[in-house]
Amino acid sequence: MDRSFGKSGRRFLLWIDAVGGFWVCLDDTVVLGQPDPAAKVDIPILGDLSTQHARIRRDAEGYMIEGLRETRVNGRRAEPWALLGHGATIALGETVRLLFRRPLVLSATARLDFLSRHRTQPSSDAVLLMAEACVLGPRPTSHVVCRDWPCEVVLYRHEGELFCRVANVGNSPGEPPGLPTEAVFEIDGQKHRQRGQIHPNAHVVGEGFSLCLEEI
Amino acid sequence: MKPLVTPVDNQDSVAVDFRPADADSPRDLPAPARFVYPSGSQPLLGYTIKRGVGHGGFGEVYFAVSEAGKEVALKLIRRNLDVELRGMRHCLNLKHPNLLTIYDIRRDERDDTWVIMEYVSGHRLDEVIAAHPQGMPPDQVLAWFFGIASGVAYLHDHGIVHRDLKPGNIFCDEGIVKLGDYGLAKFISCSRRSGQTESVGTVHYMAPEIANGRYGKEIDIYALGVILYEMLTGRVPFEGESVGEVLMKHLTAEPDLSALNEPFRGIVARALEKDPAKRFQSVTEMLAELPRPARCEVFAGPLPVSGHDRELISAGKAGETGLPQAAAAAPAVEQEPIFMAVRALFRRACDTWRRSPFSLPTKIALLVVGAGVLLMTSNAWLSVLIFLVMLYAAYWVVRAILTAVLPRSSHGVGTLPPTAGLEAESRGQQAIASSLASTRGWPAKAPPSARTKPPERVGPRFPEGENEVLVLGPLRERWTQWVGSLVAGSLATLTMALVMLVLNGFRDAAAEPELWSLAWWSRYAWLVVVSLSCTWAVLTVSKFWEAGPGDAMLRRFLLMVVGLGLGLVAFGATTYFGVALNHDPRFVQLLRIRPHQNLLPTDGWVSAKYYLAAFATLFFIVRWWRLADPARPARMSLWPIIVCVFVAAVTADLWGFPQPWLPMVACAASVAVQLASPWIHPRDRRWQKV
For residue B537, pLDDT over 90 is answered with yes
Sign of the four-CA dihedral B659, B662, B665, B671: negative
Does the distance separating the beta carbons of B51 and A203 come in below 8 Å? no
Per-residue burial over B613-628, b if 16 or more Cβ lie within 10 Å, else e, is bbbbbbbbbbebbbbb
Same domain, B493 and B599: yes
Distance in angstroms (rounded) separating the CA atoms of residues B650 and B644:
10
Contact in structure between A201 and A215 (CB atoms under 8 Å):
yes
Q: Per-residue confidence at B56, pLDDT binned at 50, 70, 90?
A: low
Distance in angstroms (rounded) separating the CA atoms of residues B240 and B248:
9
Name the residue among A87, A117, A123 with its Cβ closest to that of B175. Answer: A117
Whether chain A has a CB inside 8 Å of the CB on B305: the answer is yes
What is the predicted pLDDT for the residue at B254? 87
Task: Express each pLDDT in B550-605 by its tens digit.
Answer: 788 888 999 999 999 999 999 999 888 888 888 877 777 766 777 787 888 777 77
Task: Tell me what percent of the residues of chain A surpass a pLDDT of 90.
Answer: 48
Give B218-232 as a 3 state SS string: HHHHHHHHHHHHHHH
What is the predicted pLDDT for the residue at A113? 93
Mean pLDDT of A48-74: 92
Task: Express each pLDDT in A117-146 by its tens digit.
Answer: 888 988 899 999 999 999 999 888 899 988
Closest CA to A126 of A115, A139, A140: A115
> Domain containing B534: what range?
468-689
What is residue B369's three-state secondary structure? helix
Longest dimension (CA), chain B: 113
Q: How far is B683 from chain A (nearest CA, A)?
A: 6
Does the distance separating the beta carbons of B319 and A17 come in below 8 Å? no
Mean pLDDT of B233-238: 90
Q: Per-residue confidence at B222, pLDDT binned at 50, 70, 90?
A: very high
Backbone angles phi, psi at B106, to 5 degrees: -135, 160
Mean pLDDT of chain B: 74
Sign of the four-CA dihedral A40, A44, A47, A49: negative
For residue B477, pLDDT over 90 is answered with no
Q: Per-residue confidence at A66, pLDDT binned at 50, 70, 90?
A: very high
Residue ranges of B 380-439 with Cβ closer than 8 A to chain A: 436, 438-439
Domain count, chain B: 3
Stronger pLDDT, B88 or B401, i.e. the higher one: B401
Same domain, B538 and B661: yes
Backbone angles phi, psi at B264, to 5 degrees: -65, -35
Instruction: Please list every residue in chain A whose beta carbon sits closer than 8 Å to the beta carbon of residue B682.
Output: none
**Domain-embedded: residue B400:** no
Name the residue among A76, A126, A173 with its Cβ closest to that of B439. Answer: A173
**Mutate which of A13, A17, A98 to disrupt the B interface (most B C-beta within 10 Å)?**
A17
Lowest mean pLDDT segment, chosen from B93-97, B109-113, B254-258, B524-528: B109-113
**Mutate which of B440, B681, B684 to disrupt the A interface (most A C-beta within 10 Å)?**
B440
What is the predicted pLDDT for the residue at A6? 54
Same domain, B483 and B371: no
Same domain, B604 and B482: yes
For residue B356, pLDDT over 60 is answered with yes
> At B372, which helix (H) or strand (E)?
helix B360-376
Q: Per-residue confidence at B65, pLDDT binned at 50, 70, 90?
A: very high
Same domain, B367 and B487: no
**Domain-embedded: residue B527:** yes
Same domain, B483 and B626: yes
Mean pLDDT of chain A: 86
What is the predicted pLDDT for the residue at A53? 93
Stronger pLDDT, B657 or B8, i.e. the higher one: B657
Domains of chain A by range and CATH?
27-129 (2.60.200.20), 133-215 (2.60.200)
What is the predicted pLDDT for the residue at B80? 52
What is the predicted pLDDT for the residue at A67? 92
**Domain-embedded: residue B646:** yes
**Domain-embedded: residue B71:** yes
Could you tell me which residues come within 8 angstroms of residue B279 by beta carbon, excluding any fewer than 6 positions away?
Answer: B218, B221, B222, B225, B270, B271, B272, B273
CA A82 to chain centre: 21
Mean pLDDT of B612-637: 88
**Domain-embedded: residue B307:** no
Closest CA to A25 of A151, A100, A131, A153: A131
Nearest residue on chain A to B439, alpha-carbon basis: A173
Stronger pLDDT, A165 or B199, i.e. the higher one: A165
What is the predicted pLDDT for the residue at B601? 78
Same domain, B480 and B351: no
Same domain, B617 and B497: yes
**Mutate which of A45, A83, A117 to disrupt the B interface (most B C-beta within 10 Å)?**
A117
Task: Express each pLDDT in B383-406 by its tens digit.
Answer: 778 888 888 888 888 887 777 666
Instruction: Please list every residue in chain B whose beta carbon sits closer than 8 Å to the beta carbon of residue A212.
Output: 38-40, 51
Does the distance separating the beta carbons of B317 and A115 come in below 8 Å? yes
Q: How far is B26 from chain A (nearest CA, A)?
A: 7
Same domain, B371 and B484: no
Does the distance separating the beta carbons of B51 and A122 come in below 8 Å? no
What is the predicted pLDDT for the residue at B24? 33
Q: How far is A178 from chain B (nearest CA, A)?
A: 9
Stronger pLDDT, A72 or B547, i.e. the higher one: A72
**Domain-embedded: residue B612:** yes
Does the distance separating the beta carbons of A126 and B63 come in below 8 Å? no
Does the distance separating the beta carbons of B25 and A105 come in below 8 Å? no
Task: Express each pLDDT in B413-432 by its tens digit.
Answer: 333 333 333 333 333 333 33
For residue B506, pLDDT over 80 is answered with no
What is residue A14's three-state secondary structure? strand
Q: Per-residue confidence at B445, pLDDT binned at 50, 70, 90?
A: very low
Instruction: Please list every residue in chain B whose beta carbon sits closer than 8 Å to the beta carbon of residue A172.
Output: 27
What is the predicted pLDDT for the residue at B290? 86
For residue A210, pLDDT over 80 is answered with yes
Angle made by CA atoms B235, B240, B243, in degrees to the nearest 5 = 115
**Domain-embedded: residue B405:** no
What is the predicted pLDDT for the residue at B1? 39
Distance in angstroms (rounded) separating the CA atoms of residues B87 and B438:
49
**Domain-embedded: residue B486:** yes
Same domain, B549 and B664: yes
Stronger pLDDT, B550 or B511, i.e. the higher one: B550
Decide which of B118, B148, B181 is a domain's last residue: B118
For residue A180, pLDDT over 60 is answered with no
For residue B528, pLDDT over 60 is answered with yes
List the beta strands (DSSP E) in B194-328.
Answer: none
Does the distance separating the beta carbons of B440 and A139 come in below 8 Å? yes
Nearest residue on chain A to B12, alpha-carbon basis: A208
Same domain, B640 and B515: yes
* Beta-ladder partners of A15: A21, A212
What is the predicted pLDDT for the residue at B87? 57
Q: How far is A171 from chain B (nearest CA, A)?
A: 7
B28-42, B80-94, B507-521, B624-638, range with greatest mean pLDDT: B624-638
Q: Counting one residue from A and one from B, how many pairs have CB atoms under 8 Å apart?
A: 147
B191-205, B477-491, B525-539, range with greatest mean pLDDT: B525-539
Nearest residue on chain B to A107, alpha-carbon basis: B448
What is the predicted pLDDT for the residue at A8? 52
Does the distance separating the beta carbons of A89 and B51 come in below 8 Å? no
Q: Per-residue confidence at B66, pLDDT binned at 50, 70, 90?
A: very high
Nearest residue on chain B to A76, alpha-carbon basis: B684
Mean pLDDT of B48-65: 84
Mean pLDDT of B470-493: 84
Same domain, B505 and B647: yes
Stronger pLDDT, B174 or B324, i.e. the higher one: B174
Q: Per-residue confidence at B689, pLDDT binned at 50, 70, 90?
A: low
Name the residue among A117, A141, A147 with its Cβ closest to that of B445. Answer: A141
For residue B325, pLDDT over 50 is answered with no
What is the predicted pLDDT for the residue at B187? 45
What is residue A97's three-state secondary structure? strand
